[in-house]
Copies of this chain bind each other. A is one copy, B any other.
Amino acid sequence: MVDHYAVLEKHLVAVDCVIFGYDIRDKELKLLLIRRRFEPELGKWSLPGGFVKKEEGVSEAARRVLYQLTGLKDVYMKQSYAWGDVHRDTGGRVITISHFALINTFELNPVMTEASAAHWRSISRIPELIFDHKKIVERAHYELKEGIKLKPVGFELLPEKFTLVQLQDLYEAIYQRKIDKRNFRKKIISMNLLEKLDEKEKETSKKGAYYYRFIPSKYDDFKRQGFYFSLDVQ
């Protein structure tokens, strides 16, 4: 490629990933954080990130970072925001483009996360993070809350089969508030997005709760077209 812009000033460009996970057992929305492995701020809590390479698109870079950390591909991922203050990174001028990703914590190989010194931390107990990473997380969490109203992305955080109770727990974890059970079910069912299976989950109750799964074709429609899922407050 002919380079027409040879004389201009160049910048380091990074991607940072806000990786949300949901643990169906302890019903908490979590964030995958790492101990930083290079200077400055070596050893401090940080979002997983990396620098964009010469022959690599920005979203490719974000997927690469996620893959190297978790071994996962085909993950729901979305660009969040470009952070461009001159002094945001104390190690040099770095423009970072944050992304958020949704995975369910069971998909993740624990060996892998251990190797990369990654840890799940509950969204309600985030440790101190380097640079502007706290703001980056807050923005991503806000976008998750908004986004989940418009697209049924919440399912990305659940295993393939789940109960309505588990789905509601997830929404409560994301919004950090109680939701009315009957209204929640009414709304979700009326979307015709879910298929009731004949199987029950019987670990958490004697009666057992029916498993559901989302109907992939309907789910894809919703992801494209959007829907509106608003919630009452109690």
Tell me which residues across on chain B come within 8 A of A83, comparing CB atoms.
58
**A6 vs B8: C-alpha distance when bound (angstroms):** 17
Asked, given contacts A11-B13, A11-B52, A59-B84, whether A5 binds B91 with beta carbons under 8 Å apart, the answer is yes
Q: Is B92 touching A13 in the complex (CB atoms < 8 A)?
A: no
Q: In the complex, are the beta carbons of B4 and A91 less than 8 A apart?
A: yes
A85 at the interface (CB under 8 A from B): yes
Main secondary structure of the interface of A (DSSP, over half): loop
Other than the given A2-B92, A9-B53, 12 more pairs (CB < 8 A) read A1-B93, A4-B38, A4-B39, A5-B12, A9-B54, A10-B12, A11-B13, A13-B95, A52-B95, A54-B93, A55-B86, A61-B84
Some 14 contacts from A to B, beta carbons below 8 A apart, are A3-B91, A3-B92, A5-B12, A9-B12, A9-B51, A9-B54, A11-B11, A13-B13, A56-B86, A57-B85, A58-B83, A58-B95, A79-B81, A84-B97
| Residues of A that sit less than 8 Å from B by CB | 1-6, 8-13, 38-40, 51-59, 61, 79, 81-87, 90-95, 97
Count of identical protomers in the assembly: 2
- Measured between beta carbons, the chain B residues less than 8 angstroms from A13 are 10-11, 13, 84, 95
A93's nearest neighbour on chain B, judged by CB, is: B54
The chain B residue sitting closest to A91, CB to CB, is: B4
| Among A53, A82, A97, residue most surrounded by chain B Cβ atoms (within 10 Å) | A82
Distance between A148 CB and nearest chain B CB, rounded to angstroms: 16
- Give the distance to chain B from A46, nearest Cβ to Cβ, in Å: 14
The answer for the CA separation of A198 and B22 in the assembled complex, in Å, is 58
Complex CA–CA separation, A12 to B6 (angstroms): 9
Task: Let me know if B4 and A8 touch, CB within 8 A.
Answer: no
In the complex, what distance in Å separates the CA atom of A129 from the CA atom of B156?
Answer: 37
Contact of A11 among B4, B10, B59 (CB under 8 A): B10
Tell me if A82 and B97 are in contact (CB < 8 A): yes
Least Cβ distance of A11 to chain B in Å?
5
Closest B-chain residue to A96, C-beta based? B82
Contact B52 A92 (CB under 8 A): no
